[in-house]
Homo-oligomer: A and B are copies of this chain.
Amino acid sequence: MKLTGHLIIGANDAAATEGTMKALNPATNQLIEPDFALGGVADVDRAATLADEAFDCYSHTSLARRAAFLDSIADNLDAVRTELAARAALETGLPEAQLEGETAKAATQFRQFADVVRKGRFLQLAVDPAQPDRQPRPRMDHRLQKIAIGPVAIFGASNFPISYSVAGGDTASALAAGATVILKAHNAHPGASEIQARAIRKAVQEHGLPEGVFSMVRGSGNAIGEALVDHPLVKAVTFTGSEHGGMALYRRAQQRPDPIPVFTEMTSVNPTFILPHALATRGAQIGDGFIERMLVNVGQACLRPAILVAIKGAGLEAMRAAMVKRVTDASARTMLTPAIHASYSNGLAAMANAGARLAAEGSASNADFDGRAALLEVDGQRFLAETVLAEEVFGPSALLVSVKDEDELLAVARSLKGQLSAAMHLEESDMQLAHRLLPVLERRTGRIVVNAFAHPQEVTFATVHGGPFPATSDSRFTSVGMTSIERFLRPVAYQGFPDALLPEALRDTNPLGLPRIVDGQ
């Protein structure tokens, strides 16, 4: 596929209205061809208008047709896997093999959502039949289904340029819900974004769906994102990225005349607690595994375990030594963008200023945007005194917090803000402490992992990729997994309807054979 650099506004390849940009290869610090169009408020308005016009038709597509459309997106992604991975590698410095895997995962996700759509459980159908003879007054027939909330604006993330970007889980779950999508491409990988957008648009056309089902816009600075969040026809927003960026969008949307739901997935240090018997038994193995996982994607992953908490005692030195070794052995690797690289350096300096000591560093490099691995350490008392030590430093660093006893370990846990995940490493004989720690973690995290490092991400019914603020802006939802579709659905009740006027899924004979709760059963 030849990249043209256009915006994808429905069926239209739209030229630049606000200048152009080029992608940067962060490994070489060189710009890459071609020019990519930058758009503005007028482009957002066209995309939103199309998305609104397409909504009634698309949100009422049959489940079979919508599922087939999602399957076609998966097929179209498979068809461009090689060139998508190659382009994404150029634009991100990530390994091509990893990006091929990411494309495969993204395609799988569309197929999984096709299955969710076919099964129809997400409609949450409920039927409460009329009770004409009920005393003291009859009951009307009530039926409920969920429908899509409206056109959705999705902000692509930088760190996983496919599975959290244009063809990521947000797009898959929104389209599965029956919402139309306006994607705001991340400027760190415009070529990879275009390839994905074209794969999605091809499926829209193959299935004869209205063009406004999917558009992709791009712009410089914040104006394009603000225009999306402000647009009266946009009814929900999702974002994955920094707390600063996410909260700016979130607060802006809440100041609209009609506030809309904004789900932002932002920041997490994914604290890992090593309980004493696990530490004594297999400290070195845990330390090694922790750093291995921390280094994935050059530390630029939402589930990166960044903080490890252990009680001083048997095994701590062995664990620390394994961490030091693994960090020291790590080569510097290209970070995603110059801005992330700069922010990583600043973050490490802030940690040092707050009293974290440097325990080990990876090898250095001469490349401009290579991130050098770092292991910092601090004791529990210092950690509790310096809130900056609990902040995320996006990149390949970890902080080892050694605490003096169980109470200090619990105090560290209680001091933490909301997290996407937490982990406990434990043996049978640690169970008493685990039972004390568990409720503390439940209140602060969306997922809790035992004896593993929460990677790789599974996309299942039991997946939660969410958590209390600031991990996300609304802990009631997840942005990954089959139930992430709930962000884009709202209930509608139909009372006293003649059968012929009811949505098919709610008719008396249940013609679609979908699961329904009837009279509470």
Per the 8 Å Cβ criterion, residues 329-349 of A in contact with B are none
- In this complex, the interface size class of chain A, counting residues with CB under 8 Å from chain B, is 35 or more
Q: Are B142 and A462 in contact (CB-based, < 8 A)?
A: yes
Q: A460 to B142: give the CA distance in the assembly, Å.
A: 8
A97 is an interface residue with CB less than 8 A from chain B: no
Determine the chain B residues whose CB is within 8 A of the CB of A55 once the complex forms: 443
A362 is an interface residue with CB less than 8 A from chain B: no
User: Which of A35-43, A63-71, A247-255 participates in binding chain B?
Assistant: A247-255
Q: Which residue of B lies closest to A255 (CB)?
A: B251
Q: Are A461 and B492 in contact (CB-based, < 8 A)?
A: no
User: Which of A364-372, A403-411, A494-502 participates in binding chain B?
Assistant: A494-502
Q: Are B500 and A461 in contact (CB-based, < 8 A)?
A: no
Determine the chain B residues whose CB is within 8 A of the CB of A251 once the complex forms: 254-255, 259
Q: A448 to B143: give the CA distance in the assembly, Å.
A: 10
Q: Are B496 and A476 in contact (CB-based, < 8 A)?
A: no
Identify which of B139, B418, B435, B466 contacts A501 (C-beta below 8 A).
B435
A159 is an interface residue with CB less than 8 A from chain B: no
With A139-B458, A456-B137 known to touch, is A492 a contact of B464 (CB < 8 Å)? yes
Identify which of B449, B473, B495 contacts A454 (C-beta below 8 A).
B495
Q: A403 to B15: give the CA distance in the assembly, Å.
A: 44
Minimum Cβ distance to chain B for residue A399 (Å): 22
Task: Bits for A134-155, please: 1 = Cβ < 8 Å to B, else 0.
Answer: 0001011011100101100000
Q: Which residue of B lies closest to A476 (CB)?
A: B490
Q: A331 to B250: give the CA distance in the assembly, Å.
A: 49
Task: Bits for A100-134, please: 1 = Cβ < 8 Å to B, else 0.
Answer: 00000000000000010001000010111000000
Q: A150 to B444: give the CA distance in the assembly, Å.
A: 11
Q: Are B461 and A517 in contact (CB-based, < 8 A)?
A: yes
Minimum Cβ distance to chain B for residue A509 (Å): 18
Q: Are B144 and A461 in contact (CB-based, < 8 A)?
A: yes
Identify which of B60, B126, B438, B482 contacts A461 (C-beta below 8 A).
B126
Minimum Cβ distance to chain B for residue A281 (Å): 15
A184 is an interface residue with CB less than 8 A from chain B: no
Determine the chain B residues whose CB is within 8 A of the CB of A456 once the complex forms: 137
Q: A422 to B499: give the CA distance in the assembly, Å.
A: 18
Task: Bits for A472-516, please: 1 = Cβ < 8 Å to B, else 0.
Answer: 011110100011001101111111111011000000000000000
Q: A143 to B448: give the CA distance in the assembly, Å.
A: 10
Q: A474 to B442: give the CA distance in the assembly, Å.
A: 25
Identify which of B144, B431, B446, B482 contacts A493 (C-beta below 8 A).
B446
A293 is an interface residue with CB less than 8 A from chain B: no
Task: Bits for A259-295, please: 1 = Cβ < 8 Å to B, else 0.
Answer: 1110000000000000000000000000000000000
Q: Are A462 and B128 in contact (CB-based, < 8 A)?
A: yes
Q: Are A452 and B495 in contact (CB-based, < 8 A)?
A: yes
Q: Are B492 and A447 in contact (CB-based, < 8 A)?
A: yes
With A60-B439, A431-B500, A501-B431 known to touch, is A491 a contact of B478 (CB < 8 Å)? yes
Q: A257 to B462: give the CA distance in the assembly, Å.
A: 30
Q: Are B144 and A495 in contact (CB-based, < 8 A)?
A: no
Q: A60 to B440: give the CA distance in the assembly, Å.
A: 12
Minimum Cβ distance to chain B for residue A402 (Å): 24
Minimum Cβ distance to chain B for residue A462 (Å): 4
Determine the chain B residues whose CB is within 8 A of the CB of A261 once the complex forms: 474, 476
Q: A253 to B452: give the CA distance in the assembly, Å.
A: 37
Q: A417 to B257: give the CA distance in the assembly, Å.
A: 12
Q: Are B492 and A458 in contact (CB-based, < 8 A)?
A: no
Determine the chain B residues whose CB is within 8 A of the CB of A494 once the complex forms: 447-448, 450
Q: Which residues of A are in contact with B by a Cβ distance under 8 Å?
A: 55-56, 60, 115, 119, 124, 126-128, 137, 139-140, 142-144, 147, 149-150, 250-251, 254-255, 258-261, 417-418, 428, 431, 434-435, 438-439, 442-443, 445-452, 454, 456, 458, 460-464, 466, 468-470, 473-476, 478, 482-483, 486-487, 489-498, 500-501, 517, 519-520
9 A-B contacts (beta carbon < 8 Å): A126-B461, A139-B458, A144-B464, A149-B476, A150-B443, A446-B491, A448-B495, A468-B490, A476-B491
